[in-house]
Amino acid sequence: MVIIAHQKPIYLKMKNIISLIILSIFISACSSSIDTSNMTPEDRLAYAIKLYQEEDYEEAVKEFDAIILQYPGSSISDDAQYYLALTRFQREEYILGAYQFSKLIKSMPSSEFLADAQYMLADCYYELSPDFTLDQQYSKKAIEEFQVFIDIFPLNEKVAQAETKINELNDKLAKKEYDAARIYDKMEYYDAAIKYYDSVSEIYHDTQYAPLALYNKINLLIEKKRESEALTEAQKFISRYPQHPNFSDVEKIKNNLDSKFSANP
């Protein structure tokens, strides 16, 4: 009997707590629902931006979409378009974000958000760029869009960031090509290996993999008794990469080849 007497008030107390929690959630939900039908376009935009700033991205998307539909061509439509794209980006919906930034760029070329939209368009593709072992279409698209940003807005404060990201992406593309060359080299598919080494050293000549590719190509050419070509590539290496750790090795290769050709003109 004592146990039963203690259980009943505890059960009632828990029931009351649960009821209060449900009630508070209901009140909170009601209070967050604001009637925007009587707002001015500017007030509605401010409300939508506030939702974005509070990271209520789901509601923010609805509001920005509604503003774009209800006030097309107005003074606030590009604001709504830009923030809609930003909201998609923050939700990690990068393909949708890229679409929305691209829409602003194409349909609102005089917008004050044009430079930021172009940078963010590129950044969407940058975020979509996968590991170097996978298909790199998004990496290439990001490089393309970052370069457009740099070309059109060369004095923008984000140019340095764009250049850094281009270098990072080029490094990724170069690594993919370099690894392919190494695989073909080991499998003794020498023509394919040389093709990929050339791709790295010529297309991605500013990356860390370019001198490695050229160095490996030189050694492969010597191995295949293509010494005249090896000498040409060695001269190229010496002129391009005087500070590289493999410079002295390449210099020795060049000197040996020079001596050999001098002795056998």
pLDDT higher than 70, residue 23: no
Tell me the CATH number for domain 167-265: 1.25.40.10
- Can you give the pTM of this predicted structure? 0.82
Please tell me the predicted confidence (pLDDT) of residue 38.
78
Q: How far apart are CA 78 and CA 57, in angstroms?
A: 18
Average pLDDT over residues 115-122: 98
Please tell me the predicted confidence (pLDDT) of residue 52.
97
Contact 194, 220 (CB under 8 A): yes
Please tell me the predicted confidence (pLDDT) of residue 262.
81
CA dist 210 → 178, 186, 195, 223 (Å) = 8, 19, 13, 20
Query: Which helix (H) or strand (E) is 154 found in, with range?
Result: none
Instruction: For 203-212, write each residue's pLDDT tens digit.
Output: 999 999 999 9
217 contact partners, CB below 8 Å, separation of at least 6: 194, 197, 198, 201, 233
Q: Domain map of the chain by residue range?
A: 167-265
